[in-house]
């Protein structure tokens, strides 16, 4: 999938703010966050959407999402998270990814993404 922006990120062709990486997934900061700490869990293998994922990879992605929730709670003092998977019309990048979007009791203004990234590292 040589035109896929996420494949290019995974292959190191496009720089990113990487929060976590292993042999199966990469977790990056969303470049257009809706909340401070908004990140994406992206499988390294190209799947267009969640209908292509087998149960094993779906379970693994959710396992990593739980780890990222713990990180967000610890480093950003979040009060909750939303896990969002867009499909069809709502899916802008056609490479499966899971949004992890922190929630805060007290509304926060968005701060510089690098400042948030440095807190999570």
Name the residue range of residue 113's domain: 5-120
pLDDT tops 90 at residue 21: yes
| Catalytically active residues, by annotation | 97
Grade residue 89 by pLDDT with cuts at 50, 70 and 90. Answer: confident
Grade residue 86 by pLDDT with cuts at 50, 70 and 90. Answer: very high
50-79: average pLDDT: 97
In the structure encoding, which two tokens stand for residue 33, read together?
């966050």
Structure confidence at residue 111 (pLDDT): 95
Residue 112 or residue 1, greater confidence: 112
For the chain, what is the domain count?
1
Angle, vertex CA 28, rays to CA 111 and CA 41, nearest 5 = 125
Local structure of residue 11 (DSSP, 8 states): T
CATH number of the domain encompassing residue 49: 3.30.428.10
pLDDT tops 60 at residue 1: no
Choose among 32, 29, 15: nearest CA to 100: 29
CB 58 within 8 A of CB 96: no
């Amino acid at each position: 999938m040589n035109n896929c922006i996420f494949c290019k990120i995974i292959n190191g062709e496009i720089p990113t703010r990487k929060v976590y990486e292993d042999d199966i997934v990469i977790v990056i900061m969303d470049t257009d966050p809706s909340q401070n700490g908004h990140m994406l869990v992206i499988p390294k293998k190209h799947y267009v959407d969640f209908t292509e994922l087998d149960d094993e990879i779906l379970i693994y992605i959710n396992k990593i999402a739980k780890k990222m929730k713990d990180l967000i709670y610890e480093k950003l003092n979040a009060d909750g998270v939303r896990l969002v998977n867009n499909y069809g019309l709502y899916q802008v990048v056609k490479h499966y990814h899971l949004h992890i979007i922190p929630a805060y009791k007290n509304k926060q203004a968005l701060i510089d993404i690098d400042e948030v990234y440095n807190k999570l590292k």
